[in-house]
Structure 1
């Protein structure tokens, strides 16, 4: 099992909106779907997968454990509840959503590994971990068990220190907020490259991330945007174009919730 380079996200999508988004994504060719307990849409995501007609075994399904379930009493029961909502016997990847305050890394990583051993999830990983937390997690389960660390990453926030560390340790980097809440879609440099290449700003940005071996999970409520974003897979940027986008780094973090986030590297 390997974390797919391209998937569809479902953050902030609810009810019929998320059902339509996931069904459209699967219909146009996506085969990886990302959700989470706190998104409160697992049931609808499961319904969309069932109604899509795509074989469950062909879909790479990810969910994330919320901070109040990161303990030996609640982690596995909460994952079983997620599976029930999703209408599946297993997920392909289960992540710790945020480290939070006061949670014991040793305790919840041991439980996460146990969930894998029980067959509830095929792979395990983390999200929003800094380097110190990755080292703590690896001390419990081994770096080889951490399939990915899902972090905020965009042309404006490239997290190079963390990315370099993860690549050295064999941990796949998954990016969320890759379009920086849409800010990069208005960026003059990215739009100039897009015009030169006959592409969209979103395609250029997603292709940039993938060429850095970073997985992306953009979301959209519009079928045409889902289809357009997926076409980023076929776009190859030149070294010069990559360097121009790399130079946009400005530590432009969009998400930093107090009480959930660690001290960033």
Structure 2
């Protein structure tokens, strides 16, 4: 089965549905990623701060899947920002992953209080040029943070990975991403399961004979976002991928759009410095 992809602004193709491992313990990561790969996922999203890159790497190595069929993302933690530490941090991540390059490397948070994300972005451009990552992007960047790195006159991030779900849609950031040709990637796309019991979601799920999670993930896809749902349960891992054979009506999309409540589950990027 083929799954939808998006073409990034540097010409690289990225699966629109990926598997996230945030909060998956190291000792459970290999089994979870193995289940995801067996279900058909080819995009895996991790981060240095998750402390499970080794578990991801073991699953990738054991899968036997050719490297060019995989799309692996990891992220630079806030304490490693800066021109001197970005490269050693990526080299360490690659060693844990057992890879010679990643497909996408992200600045995990702008950490504005540190004042280093612009300098870090310049270092990221050098990492891409050296072949340690195919593409470079950011995570949790607000419009003003995007403007600051775009003003450097170099590369534009290919992705901005932000918290997006029906209760926190961050339309201002999504609009800024779109303006600059940046793909919005949704972390916590299901609000850590917080939206799955919403009456609007459950009613739409019932109408389609689908799970609430499938409906919310389909809502993301239909608006062009990349999603990285997380689960350690094989049946749910498979269900979360099975969202390409149905569509929502414009009215259903609008009803889910109407669930915005400012319901942030993670830190505020304007103030979080890690």
The 8 Å contact of residues 8 and 32 in structure 1, kept in 2 or not, is answered as yes
Per-residue CA distance 1:197-224 (angstroms, 9 max, x = gap) = 0000000000001111011000110111
Query: Secondary structure, in 3 states, of the residue corresponding to 1:254?
Result: coil
Equivalent-residue separation in structure 2 for 1:140 and 1:179 (angstroms): 35
- Cross-structure match for 1:262: 270
Q: Tell me, which stretches of 5 or more residues in structure 2 are unaligned?
A: 1-11
Out of 116, 120, 130, the position equivalent to 1:108 is 120
Per-residue CA distance 1:239-258 (angstroms, 9 max, x = gap) = 0110110111111111116x
- Cross-structure match for 1:86: 97
- Cross-structure match for 1:123: 135
Runs of 4+ in 1 over 4 A off after TM superposition: none
- Cross-structure match for 2:26: 15
The 8 Å contact of residues 86 and 123 in structure 2, kept in 1 or not, is answered as yes
Matches within 5 A, 1:174-213: 174-213=185-224
Out of 43, 56, 68, the position equivalent to 1:32 is 43
Please, what TM-score do these two structures have when normalized by structure 1? 0.95
CA deviation after TM superposition for structure 1 residue 263, in Å? 5.6
CA deviation after TM superposition for structure 1 residue 147, in Å? 0.8
The 8 Å contact of residues 128 and 262 in structure 1, kept in 2 or not, is answered as no
2:110 corresponds to 1:99: yes
CA deviation after TM superposition for structure 1 residue 15, in Å? 2.5
Out of 242, 250, 257, the position equivalent to 2:261 is 250
Query: Secondary structure, in 3 states, of the residue corresponding to 1:27?
Result: helix
Please, what TM-score do these two structures have when normalized by structure 2? 0.92
CA deviation after TM superposition for structure 1 residue 103, in Å? 3.0
- Cross-structure match for 1:138: 150
CA deviation after TM superposition for structure 1 residue 56, in Å? 1.6
Change (3 A) 1:40 1:141: farther
- Cross-structure match for 2:60: 49
The 8 Å contact of residues 3 and 148 in structure 1, kept in 2 or not, is answered as no
Equivalent-residue separation in structure 2 for 1:81 and 1:263 (angstroms): 28
CA deviation after TM superposition for structure 1 residue 128, in Å? 0.5
The 8 Å contact of residues 63 and 91 in structure 1, kept in 2 or not, is answered as yes
The 8 Å contact of residues 11 and 219 in structure 1, kept in 2 or not, is answered as yes
Equivalent-residue separation in structure 1 for 2:100 and 2:156 (angstroms): 21
How many residues are paired up?
Answer: 260
Per-residue CA distance 1:12-66 (angstroms, 9 max, x = gap) = 1123311011001001100100000000011110011011121121110000000
Equivalent-residue separation in structure 2 for 1:51 and 1:223 (angstroms): 17
The 8 Å contact of residues 109 and 140 in structure 1, kept in 2 or not, is answered as no
Query: Secondary structure, in 3 states, of the residue corresponding to 2:161?
Result: strand
